[in-house]
Chains A and B, each alone.
Chain A
């Protein structure tokens, strides 16, 4: 048993921490592209901003998407609610609110992450310091995850935290794919061109999967395989299928513990079944973009049903 407000705080704490880490990965991938491409320009950063869901807000304060401005906006701008710093601050505020539900180790890792990143992001970073800075962000988020897994009881507190993580992760992965879906379409891509290779690698890099991809598939970058990896592969920790197998099992724990079966469980099971049984050929035939759009909206719908079913707000 947990206060509805506490479940809500845990859910959002872990959504924000997950988001911070994903934004850092996106920036990392963006930097990589601009390093490996001589004609790289605004387009690349425009795509990164779009994947981060920040393109529109960015355009309100900046007229062009230069590397330095985009990185600054994504990492440290407090006006951007999804910047790494805003996410860590929001995650930590939620952690403070649910302080009694967290182990001391988890709380301290979160608090130290906030203290450390506040110091690292106090000033506009120099381009040369960016790789290290991104490492620090990933490292700090990793410490929270480690403390959480190593010290928390496997009870409803744990389940709500995990659900937050995976709803956010599924959202992020589907957005990354949706922004770049066109490069995965057979009709417009000239398979094997260096431009495509770089685009594809950038997608994989955004989900830290550029190495693991090679272990699972034959090493050739094929659009259908990349889409399969990120959408349907149940072993890939940032895929939609993996996220939904976790969301479903965490909801099943709650169902057993509470003896309650809110609408959210049906919804999660339906999406999970679709991802377990689906084939990438069907998805591509149906239309990758349409599939992703629908997924994003169903994922949001599930988030709403969870907050209603477990009385997050009322």
Chain B
């Protein structure tokens, strides 16, 4: 029986949900059904969509939004925030070390080939210190809960975590539809995120930048699955949304083509992957990037957020070493636990995983978005045996984890409420300080019993409340 965050086993509301539960009991079901429809209309009208790749006639989809909030108590949040801060600091220290002295390798805490044979490791970054020494300006730490006090970090998204626009739009929608709930509950604000992101990015402008730094968001364009978010962030920060074709390196600076000439950019919040960033340095066939931007970057004339090469820190193969990494750089045990992980590259682990496929979740080391993974307990026998063949052929490509009994939060269905599994992605901004936005994106598996929360696989989202003390 999974831990339900709203209701105890005998159907009493847990403390953070008490006021909400009372309010809910006083609502007319027909009224709530109408509200759920209104919410969908708001999203459709606003064009809050994402694209699912490889789907016919689905260039734009809505992510289903559930009207029941996920509520986190102040005490629970404090604990999470401390653990996240520790982890994010460790990630940055790890990146700094990996691209400089590599002390963690010399200390024998992680194997050298894991770093140097990894595609996410960029030799171009060796010996280079990004402005302010910050590698991961924006982090999304995926957290799951399995009990009253049991939280695990599932993934550290240190490259270009997405979804923050949903956090903001979900809150906006909830406040529009249920204003009274925000007088009943003291919910901490998330609305300042764009302002804080802009401040945080501007504060890390290259040291040569005098005056107000020019910040821009780099998008692959309107066909990218997260285009809505790129436009949303640029718009709410009040900065330009640029594509590679708008930018050019002129006189050692990155400049954008405007209606009155070329203008310099100081900080580029890029939502384009490393390998597409600079066709002169990485993939020569990339049309999304800016030829020569890496030279400008290494000369210290532009800040790129997140820094190129941060992917080495959120690689799934590295993930299993995170407890060692946190301890090595912070000198303390991690406050948030890792999910126990079998590295299939190790023969004994591979043997265990193959024998216990029906209990485990097996993931591709470099995969994301819920693609290419096997959820053992719900897979068919045929799916398992097919997966076992792939796994045996390239074991180093996979890790495996036990199937966690993720906590549930009720969603609203026509008959009332029904528990569904959730995870949580809080957003963290790193500059000279670490700011954790009180809230985040709660993803929910809408199918009964399903543990897959990814939006590309039928997941939805919820507004996430962190209560004041």
| B245, CB-defined interface residue at 8 Å | yes
Q: Which A residues are CB-close (under 8 A) to B45?
A: 108, 111-112, 115
Contact between A7 and B227 (Cβ–Cβ < 8 Å)? no
Q: Mark A81-110, 1 if CB is under 8 A from B, else 0.
A: 000000000000100110110001001100
| B117, CB-defined interface residue at 8 Å | no
In the bound complex, CA of A7 to CA of B46 (Å) = 22
- Among the stretches B254-262, B293-301, B429-437, the one at the interface with A is B254-262
Q: Which B residues are CB-close (under 8 A) to A108?
A: 45-47
Q: Which A residues are CB-close (under 8 A) to B258?
A: 1-4, 311
Consensus secondary structure, chain A interface: helix
Q: Which A residues are CB-close (under 8 A) to B263?
A: 1
Q: Pick the contact of B47 from A4, A100, A107, A160 — CB < 8 Å?
A: A107
Q: Mark A1-25, 1 if CB is under 8 A from B, else 0.
A: 1111111000000000000000000
Known: A111-B46, A115-B44. A3 touches B256 (CB 8 A): yes
Q: Pick the contact of B231 from A96, A160, A260 — CB < 8 Å?
A: A96
**Chain B, residue nearest A4 (CB):** B257
**Chain B, residue nearest A95 (CB):** B47
Q: Mark A101-133, 1 if CB is under 8 A from B, else 0.
A: 000100110011001000000000000000000
Q: Which of B192-251 contact A (CB under 8 A)?
A: 221-222, 227, 231, 234-235, 240-243, 245-246
Contact between A5 and B47 (Cβ–Cβ < 8 Å)? no
In the bound complex, CA of A258 to CA of B259 (Å) = 8
Q: Which of A159-176 contact B (CB under 8 A)?
A: 160
Distance between A181 CB and nearest chain B CB, rounded to angstroms? 37
Contact between B259 and A310 (Cβ–Cβ < 8 Å)? yes
Consensus secondary structure, chain B interface: mixed
Contact between B257 and A3 (Cβ–Cβ < 8 Å)? yes
- Contact residues on A (Cβ < 8 Å of other chain), bracket: 20 to 34
Q: Pick the contact of A5 from B44, B227, B231, B246 — CB < 8 Å?
A: B246
| A156, CB-defined interface residue at 8 Å | yes
Q: Which A residues are CB-close (under 8 A) to B231?
A: 96, 99-100
Q: Pick the contact of B245 from A2, A5, A100, A104 — CB < 8 Å?
A: A5
Q: Pick the contact of A100 from B234, B257, B259, B261 — CB < 8 Å?
A: B234
In the bound complex, CA of A99 to CA of B221 (Å) = 12
Distance between A102 CB and nearest chain B CB, rounded to angstroms? 9
**Chain B, residue nearest A104 (CB):** B46
In the bound complex, CA of A258 to CA of B45 (Å) = 35
Contact between A4 and B222 (Cβ–Cβ < 8 Å)? no
In the bound complex, CA of A183 to CA of B338 (Å) = 82
Known: A1-B263, A4-B246, A99-B241. A111 touches B47 (CB 8 A): yes
Q: Mark A144-165, 1 if CB is under 8 A from B, else 0.
A: 0000000000001000100000
In the bound complex, CA of A5 to CA of B247 (Å) = 11
Contact between B240 and A100 (Cβ–Cβ < 8 Å)? yes
Contact between B243 and A5 (Cβ–Cβ < 8 Å)? yes
**Chain A, residue nearest B245 (CB):** A5
**Chain B, residue nearest A1 (CB):** B258
Q: Which A residues are CB-close (under 8 A) to B259?
A: 1-4, 7, 156, 160, 254, 258, 310-311
**Which of A96, A100, A108, A311 gathers most chain B CB within 10 Å?**
A100
Known: A3-B240, A7-B259. A96 touches B227 (CB 8 A): yes
**Which of A104, A156, A311 gathers most chain B CB within 10 Å?**
A311
Distance between A118 CB and nearest chain B CB, rounded to angstroms? 11
| A314, CB-defined interface residue at 8 Å | yes
Contact between A260 and B260 (Cβ–Cβ < 8 Å)? yes
Residues of B in contact (CB 8 Å), total: 23
In the bound complex, CA of A310 to CA of B260 (Å) = 7
Contact between A96 and B222 (Cβ–Cβ < 8 Å)? yes
Q: Which A residues are CB-close (under 8 A) to B261?
A: 311
In the bound complex, CA of A14 to CA of B115 (Å) = 51
**Chain A, residue nearest B227 (CB):** A96
In the bound complex, CA of A6 to CA of B261 (Å) = 13
Q: Which B residues are CB-close (under 8 A) to A112?
A: 45
Contact between B44 and A100 (Cβ–Cβ < 8 Å)? no
In the bound complex, CA of A260 to CA of B259 (Å) = 10
Q: Which A residues are CB-close (under 8 A) to B257?
A: 3-5, 311, 314
Q: Which B residues are CB-close (under 8 A) to A4?
A: 246, 257-259
**Which of A96, A254, A259 gathers most chain B CB within 10 Å?**
A96
In the bound complex, CA of A156 to CA of B260 (Å) = 11
In the bound complex, CA of A7 to CA of B260 (Å) = 11
Q: Which A residues are CB-close (under 8 A) to B221?
A: 97
Q: Which of A1-55 contact B (CB under 8 A)?
A: 1-7
**Chain B, residue nearest A254 (CB):** B259
In the bound complex, CA of A110 to CA of B258 (Å) = 25
Q: Which B residues are CB-close (under 8 A) to A258?
A: 259-260
Q: Which A residues are CB-close (under 8 A) to B256?
A: 3
Distance between A98 CB and nearest chain B CB, rounded to angstroms? 9
In the bound complex, CA of A97 to CA of B235 (Å) = 12
**Chain A, residue nearest B263 (CB):** A1
Q: Mark B263-287, 1 if CB is under 8 A from A, else 0.
A: 1000000000000000000000000
In the bound complex, CA of A6 to CA of B260 (Å) = 12
Q: Mark B100-144, 1 if CB is under 8 A from A, else 0.
A: 000000000000000000000000000000000000000000000
In the bound complex, CA of A93 to CA of B46 (Å) = 14
In the bound complex, CA of A1 to CA of B240 (Å) = 10
Q: Which B residues are CB-close (under 8 A) to A3?
A: 240, 242, 246, 256-259
A-B contact pairs, 6 of them (CB 8 A): A3-B246, A5-B245, A5-B246, A93-B222, A96-B227, A99-B241
Q: A5-B246, A7-B259, A314-B257 are in contact. List 15 more A-B contacts (CB 8 A).
A: A2-B258, A3-B246, A3-B258, A4-B257, A4-B259, A5-B243, A96-B47, A97-B221, A99-B241, A100-B241, A108-B47, A156-B259, A260-B260, A311-B257, A311-B258
- Top-10 shortest CB links A-B: A99-B231, A258-B260, A310-B259, A100-B235, A4-B257, A111-B47, A2-B259, A100-B241, A100-B234, A7-B259
